[in-house]
Amino acid sequence: MPIQEGWLAGARRVPSPNHNARPDGEVSLLVLHSISLPPGEFGGDAIERLFTNRLDPAGHPFFAEIADLRVSAHLLIRRDGECVQFVPFHGRAWHAGRSRWRDGGVERTGLNDFAVGIELEGDEVSPYTAAQYRTLARATRALLDAYPRLTHERITSHAHVAPLRKTDPGPAFDWAYFRQWLSSMDISA
């Protein structure tokens, strides 16, 4: 899965209007998220509709609360392992919100400026699928290869960068299993 002109080869492209330019062009952090729309339900096109400003507020009571949000992520990894890309990696997706990262002893805010956001279709209690871990490891390997400032130590969760506000991808995300997949990608790289 190489990256070409900011796009991950093999990912289905669904361009989102919810992005802008990175101020310094820096890509040095990977933030993992989870999302399900409606909450706790998987499948359907609601996530894509949210990230492209086409979510019907009448489609579900929860949608009325979020239909006006202007958010995006670089990638969405669906339950079956399908990868959907909304924003090229050199663009600033709107995923991290108010957040902070300790970077070499310096606290940084405005993480969207330098972070890639990957959403996993899921919630914080349902186990993620093997197909999702495999696709996530492949995408992460491609990002590590393409962006030298991004390292294994710079892969984190939304919960870690916004601890009082977010808890995703939650306890259902198996970090050890993900790192096993990523290690197997490192060996074959």
| Residues with a known catalytic role | 119
Residues 6 or more apart in contact with residue 186 via CB below 8 angstroms:
141
Residues 6 or more apart in contact with residue 85 via CB below 8 angstroms:
7, 8, 11, 12, 13, 14, 74, 75
Q: How far is C-alpha 15 from the geometric centre of its chain's CA atoms? A: 15
Q: Are strands 155-157 and 29-35 parallel, antiparallel or unpaired?
A: parallel
